[in-house]
Every structure is written in structure tokens, then in C-alpha cells.
Structure 1
């Protein structure tokens, strides 16, 4: 075997080249390259895992990637009246039917009316509240035509006791024709 004499001059091989990687880094890279070359075939795992992964990928693809609100934006802008105009005041005003329904469903008024029916006396403030609401209900009912004038007259006049005897009432009942329409 021949011996090659070393010299200080840069030879035909060129100057020495230095690598910044440490030996452990180069070992890791080598292992990864070997692993990639060695690997063949399908992934290890359950035969059902593929279906789950495919379903997850499909769901991710269907999801809308856009952010923000999905609320529909009207293409035609409706003109709203100025808040202090007469049109706006008319729009804010409830219809008579809606107001009557609200008054009939008023929980506080119902409780106070129940207390009055039980014989309790209310204070002046509560009594004025009840009177005001009942007057408004009566006005709305007459406006809507739900309140007959006969009922108003009957309420104003006390009921007169009937002077008819029991025999007269029985005779009137027996003579009553039920087939009338």
C-alpha cells in the first residue's frame, strides 16, 4: 500500500469544507430518509378508520369557509318615516283590537279585579287605575262594536224584580216553541 504524503498546500481535492450540522442532526435526517424509503403499502390501523377520516374530510370541505353573519341583506331599502312625523306616530299607535287584547290580558288589572270581587277595598291610587282601565276597555269595545247599547242601559238601570208568579213562568216555559229558528 502506498503512502500519500500530506502537505500544507491545498491539493487537488480543494479546500476543506465545513458542515454546520452537528452529528446528531445528521443522524436524525438520515433516519428520516431511511424511514421514507423503507415504507411501502397502506397505513397501519383499523379497516374502519378510513371511512371516518373520509367523512371528516368531506364535512370540512362542505363547511363554509367565509366568516361573518349569514343574515340575508335586503336589496331594497324601505324608507322609514322620521320619528317625529305624524306617520311614525300613527305606526306606533296600536290598533283598537290589539289594545283591547292587551288590557284584557293585563295581569295587574286581573289581580285587582279579583281583589274587588273578594270584597277587599283598594286604595285611591289603585281604584283610579282600575276605573281608568275599565273605562278604556268599555270605550274600545264600543268603538269595535262589541258592546251593545242595550247592555249599557241595563248597567245604568237597576234590575227590576219580576212580579210574575211561578205558575206564570211555568206556563210560559211550556208554551215556548223550541222549533223556531
Structure 2
């Protein structure tokens, strides 16, 4: 074997590093690391664990995520019409009272009507929407008999009997305003 000479040159490991930890601290850390590496299983259990954790653990075991809906299953099966049949379409349609109530409670329609009453002008789309809904309300009211088909009567014109009730001042004003050149 050949003999290697020792030299004072820095080797491949680099210069020596100074560690100011005491040997006792180093030993403690080493022991902890060794202990952590050694343990592979779960933490040891206790026979005398408190009841709260036991009850929570039992509830977790009872709860099965594979169970489906909690909705009650009807025992009597009601016969329903086929979805594409005429009977189903009739059942889906709202009654006239329900539709009228929905239109009267329509928040968007009420807001637009308030805007119209305040004198604002709506765009063509919104005005069309309002007109369509008001027409539908009118049709439903006629269908239900809520609105009479007769139009309000115009104001009556004065009759000769009511002309007697005119005062002299009214007659004088009418005479002065009379245009004679009219033919």
C-alpha cells in the first residue's frame, strides 16, 4: 500500500465549519430524528379516551356516503300522463286566474308602468314588452268576465232642457263667440 502524505491544503470537503451547539443539544436533535425515522405506524391509542371523541367517531362510522336521497318514497303511485300527450300539455297550462295574477305581480312590468306614468319615454323593445303584457291582461280580463266589453259612454251633449239652466252670462258669452261667417 502506498502511503499518502498529509497536507495542509483544503481538501474536497472544504474548510472545517464551526458549530457552536453543545454536544448535548446535538445529541438530543439526533435522538429525535432517529425516533421520528423509526416510527412508521399510527399514534398509540388509549383505553381511557374521552366520550366526546368516541361518540363523534361512532357517528362518522354510521354515516354512509353511498346512501342516496332522503326524499320519501310514495307508497301509492299516481298515474301521470305521458309528457308529450295532449293531457300533459293541458295540465301544464296555467289557468287564466293564475296567469292574470302573475302578470299583475310582475315586478318588471310594474316598474315600467311607473316610468311611463312619470313621463319617461321607453325604448322600442321595452314599449313592445309593456304593450304585449297589457294586451294579454286585457284578454284575460275579458275571458274571466272582469272587464265589460262595452266601452265607457261619452259625455252627453247638452239638450234643450239643460239649456234652460244656463245663466244669462253663459248665453251672452256664447253669442259673442258665435262666428256668423260660417257656412
TM-score range, shorter chain: 0.3 to 0.5
TM-score, length-normalised on structure 1? Answer: 0.46
